Amino acid sequence: MVDVTSRRTGSRATMKDVAALAKVSLKTVSRVINEVPTVDPELVERVRKAAAQLRYQPNFGASALRRSDGRSSTIGVLLEDLSNPFSATIFRAVEEMAVSRGVSVLGGSFDEDPRREHQLTMAMSRHRVDGVIIAPASRDHQYLHEEQMAGVPFVFVDRPPHLLDADLVMSDSRAGASQAVEHLIGYGHRRIAYVGDLTTIFTAEERYNGYVDALHRAGLEVDESLVARDLRNIAAAETRAGEILDLANPPTAFFCGQNLSTIGAVRAIRARGLQHRVGLVGFDDFPLADLLDPGVTVVAQDPVTIGREAAALLFARIDGDESPSTRKIVETTFLTRGSGEIRNVVS
Amino acid sequence: MVDVTSRRTGSRATMKDVAALAKVSLKTVSRVINEVPTVDPELVERVRKAAAQLRYQPNFGASALRRSDGRSSTIGVLLEDLSNPFSATIFRAVEEMAVSRGVSVLGGSFDEDPRREHQLTMAMSRHRVDGVIIAPASRDHQYLHEEQMAGVPFVFVDRPPHLLDADLVMSDSRAGASQAVEHLIGYGHRRIAYVGDLTTIFTAEERYNGYVDALHRAGLEVDESLVARDLRNIAAAETRAGEILDLANPPTAFFCGQNLSTIGAVRAIRARGLQHRVGLVGFDDFPLADLLDPGVTVVAQDPVTIGREAAALLFARIDGDESPSTRKIVETTFLTRGSGEIRNVVS
DNA sequence: CTGAAAGCGCTTACAG
DNA sequence: CTGAAAGCGCTTACAG
């Protein structure tokens, strides 16, 4: 049985304790723990036994403090919102690569708040992380230059660095958005609404630009009454999409710049029973999009690849890669499921 | 403009540097950084200025190494799968409380692999985290007793500790499952299938038990041909649910023990066009469940409250609360949306 | 209110 | 192949 009365003693075995038990020097214990090959096998055995007996766990912090490379075996992954499937999938992809290297991951969410970005990156600095993967909320990243100078690599995901030289992995938002809108135009739509995220977000801006590009290329004007931006969440998107649907001259289709915007628009459309009459294409896929009626046509991003590529870049930098910074574009995939293939029969 | 050529110098200001610039002792800098009130305001000002000028960031690792409480300002949050909305929501709830205390969060996913649980908890130990919130994959947690003895509190979420005395926050799976099955029985169903997660998972077991309880209370027997367990993902659940639907004597309703199982069953039912004829209630809510046709009736858990309560407990323990361990049950909510209110017209 | 010395647990740099 | 000394950046325990 377990002794459940004694909650804590506060003691932890150190290398010194292991050395004493194994009757070797502290330095020999250090060699064994760090798997330095030039140690007498018999001593290795003694140290291993003593370490196991004392349940010795090395102290990463103490180790990092003294070692020349200062490695903490920790990285930071700071994204928009870890409970959004896009961020969560990137996080998991990074986590897999980190675990395989024995590296732990500090996670954080910005919720589009630049102050929180500063707060969390500062925390990463204080923890002396070996590197950071970041989807920034702010639009000025000069302040991270200090960290880079101190040897901490940054890999940006989903949004590019501004006034900072750093690696980047993201989707081609503008092209993907254009493709989506052209698809709707191809189905006869001329009045296409736009519902999107905060305009401070680079990708939201790009997706709006892609929407405008496609309209212009088709000789169509942007009708401001059909444009709803700066929508932070599903509820806001639903409300604004509803208002647009209730216009005297409503749109025949929607392009939505982000997964929460899409879900909000879907709700507004369904609330009015228009889901089989109003076209819809969303940017970024989401779970169950194919199970709705109609299925939701989307420009799917590939967050697994984004996360993997970002992690691969980060660990290469941590391992000493000093080559010029990279800008990696991950392909989007157009998934037709029904909502984007509703032909306009009005005009 | 930013100098983007120099990638790193490797240098970081230390307290010593700040002390030299401010012309005070190292100890005075330490006092200012730690906001000890008894420092001459003029010296505080000088130190603050010097620290800002040198972009000084305290080294948490070095601080933790020397301080008597050994605090690293880090906690671990180890869950089943951070990309599942249930885990992700718990993580975010914990993150909020941690950020407000200036604590960073190490995140990890077990994917129901006990070896990974050992690996990640060992990593937490090496990072000397101040506490851990854990939804364990293993069924024997004696090995964590060492950590507890060293003063690291553990709060279990979703699954209870076994052979270990620790706090717990979870839903009442058995009661919630019973309620769901009784609901289906109330709509005239007698042949109710069960589709659920790995039997090694405590909650999966409990939800199955709740299913059996409800059947027995209604005088019904468990028909093994209608029971599908140990399903790890949506695809497996879909396949098995489909096989059950294709039986010569199929069920008239499903109870599903977890969100991925539910989604798999929904897919199988829809693939056969039976969504308005076969009843369905799932355990654990998921995004868009209300937008499906019919909406999916669920026993909703409250991961926000689970996360908050777990974090509150953990931080209380970190702050020295030595009271006996707590077992906190968070209420589930029954959400009727249509799929569970399909009346059995067959028998 | 301020500071010089010692030491947290480990790795480095060196000597044997 | 092994070990004694010094030091990473900070806080403690103490003296003034």
Q: Is A11 a residue whose pLDDT tops 90?
A: no
A211 assigned to some structural domain: yes
SS (H, E, C) B258-308: CHHHHHHHHHHHHHCCCCCCCEEEEECCCCCHHHCCCECEEEECCHHHHHH
CB-nearest partner of B107 from A57, A105, A287: A105
Q: Within 7 Å: CB of B15 and strand D?
A: yes
pLDDT value of position B345:
81
Q: Do B311 and B297 fall into the same domain?
A: no
Q: Do A79 and A139 fall into the same domain?
A: yes
The count of C-alpha atoms lying within 13 angstroms of the C-alpha of A138, restricted to the half-sphere facing its C-beta, is: 17
d(CA B280, CA B317): 41
A4 assigned to some structural domain: no
Q: Do A27 and A54 fall into the same domain?
A: yes
Q: For residue A127, what is the domain's CATH number?
A: 3.40.50.2300
pLDDT value of position B7:
38
Check if the beta carbon of residue A265 is closer than 8 Å to that of residue A279: no
CB-based burial label for B270 (10 Å; 0-12, 13-18, 19+): middle
Closest residue in B to A262 (Cα–Cα): B288
pLDDT value of position A346:
63
Q: Within 7 Å: CB of A20 and strand D?
A: no
Q: Do A44 and A123 fall into the same domain?
A: no
B64 assigned to some structural domain: no
Q: Do A104 and B106 touch (CB under 8 A)?
A: yes
Q: Do B43 and B97 fall into the same domain?
A: no
Beta bridge partners of B256: B195, B282
Q: Which of A5, A33, A58 is the last residue of a domain?
A: A58
Distance in angstroms: CA B64, C1' C9: 11
Q: Within 7 Å: CB of A25 and strand C?
A: no
Q: Within 7 Å: CB of A58 and strand C?
A: yes
CA A202 to chain centre: 14
Chain D bases near protein CB atoms (7 A cut-off): 1-5, 7-13
- Which residue places its CA closest to the C1' of nucleotide D5? A27
Distance in angstroms: CA A64, C1' C14: 21
Closest residue in B to A76 (Cα–Cα): B106
B3 assigned to some structural domain: no
Q: Within 7 Å: CB of A249 and strand C?
A: no
pLDDT value of position A5:
34
pLDDT value of position A7:
39
Q: Do A272 and A286 fall into the same domain?
A: yes
B87 assigned to some structural domain: yes
Percent of chain A at pLDDT exceeding 70: 97
CB-based burial label for A153 (10 Å; 0-12, 13-18, 19+): buried
Q: Do A109 and B95 touch (CB under 8 A)?
A: yes
Q: How many domains does chain A have?
A: 3
Q: Do A308 and A296 fall into the same domain?
A: no
Mean pLDDT across A1-27: 72
Distance in angstroms: CA A66, C1' C5: 21
CA angle, corner B312, sides to B307 and B313, nearest 5? 100
Q: Which pair of tokens denotes residue A291?
A: 């199970």
In chain A, what residues touch B82 (CB-CB under 8 Å)?
A: 82, 88, 91-92, 95, 107
Give A10's pLDDT tier (boundaries 50, 70, 90). Answer: low
DSSP H helical ranges for chain B: 15-22, 26-33, 41-53, 60-66, 85-100, 114-126, 145-149, 173-186, 202-217, 234-245, 259-271, 303-318
Name residues whose C-beta falls within 8 Å of residue A153's C-beta, 6 or more positions apart in sequence: A131, A132, A166, A167, A314, A317, A318
Helix (H, G, I), strand (E, B) or coil at A254: strand
In chain B, what residues touch A307 (CB-CB under 8 Å)?
A: none
In chain A, what residues touch B4 (CB-CB under 8 Å)?
A: 164-165
pLDDT value of position B347:
54
Q: Which of residues 62-91 of B touch strand D (CB under 7 A)?
A: 62-63, 65-69
Distance in angstroms: CA A297, C1' C11: 57
Q: What are phi and psi of A201, to 5 degrees?
A: -85, 130
Q: Do A48 and A115 fall into the same domain?
A: no
Distance in angstroms: CA B76, C1' C9: 22
Q: For residue A47, what is the domain's CATH number?
A: 1.10.260.40
pLDDT value of position A345:
81
CB-based burial label for B68 (10 Å; 0-12, 13-18, 19+): exposed
Q: Do A111 and A131 fall into the same domain?
A: yes
Q: For residues A1 and A224, which has the higher predicted lDDT (pLDDT)?
A: A224
Closest Cα partner for B47 from A67, A81, A215, B56? B56
pLDDT by position in tens, chain B (length 347): 333 333 345 578 999 999 999 999 999 999 999 999 888 888 899 999 999 999 999 999 999 999 888 889 999 999 999 999 999 999 999 999 999 999 999 999 999 999 999 999 999 999 999 999 999 999 999 999 999 999 999 999 999 999 999 999 999 999 999 999 999 999 999 999 999 999 999 999 999 999 999 999 999 999 999 999 999 999 999 999 999 999 999 999 999 999 999 999 999 999 999 999 999 999 999 999 999 999 999 999 999 999 999 999 999 999 999 999 999 999 999 999 999 999 998 65
A346 assigned to some structural domain: no
Q: Do B108 and A105 touch (CB under 8 A)?
A: yes
Chain C bases near protein CB atoms (7 A cut-off): 1-5, 7-13
Mean pLDDT across A55-62: 94
pLDDT value of position A4:
35
Q: Do B287 and A286 touch (CB under 8 A)?
A: yes
CB-nearest partner of B11 from A81, A123, A150: A150
Q: Do A325 and A182 fall into the same domain?
A: no
Q: Is A1 a residue whose pLDDT tops 90?
A: no
pLDDT value of position A243:
97
- Which residue places its CA closest to the C1' of nucleotide C6? B66
Q: Do A229 and A285 fall into the same domain?
A: yes
Distance in angstroms: CA A16, C1' C16: 22
Closest Cα partner for A81 from A280, A282, A284, A329? A284
pLDDT value of position B10:
59
Closest residue in B to A86 (Cα–Cα): B83
B9 assigned to some structural domain: no
d(CA A258, CA A197): 7
Q: Do B149 and B128 fall into the same domain?
A: yes
Q: Which pair of tokens denotes residue A74?
A: 């920790």
In chain B, what residues touch A149 (CB-CB under 8 Å)?
A: 6-9, 11
Q: In this predicted model, what pLDDT tens digit does every residue of B98-133 receive, in sequence order?
A: 999 999 999 999 999 999 999 999 999 999 999 999
Beta bridge partners of A255: A194, A281
- Which residue places its CA closest to the C1' of nucleotide C2? B28
Q: How far is CA B264 from CA A103, A184, B162, B302, in A?
A: 34, 31, 31, 22
CB-nearest partner of B83 from A2, A89, A109: A89
Q: Which of residues 277-316 of B touch strand D (CB under 7 A)?
A: none
B240 assigned to some structural domain: yes
CB-nearest partner of A293 from B124, B127, B293: B293
Range of the domain at B265: 173-302+334-341
Q: Please report how the helices B26-33 and B15-22 are oriented relative to each other, as an axis angle in degrees rounded to 10.
A: 110
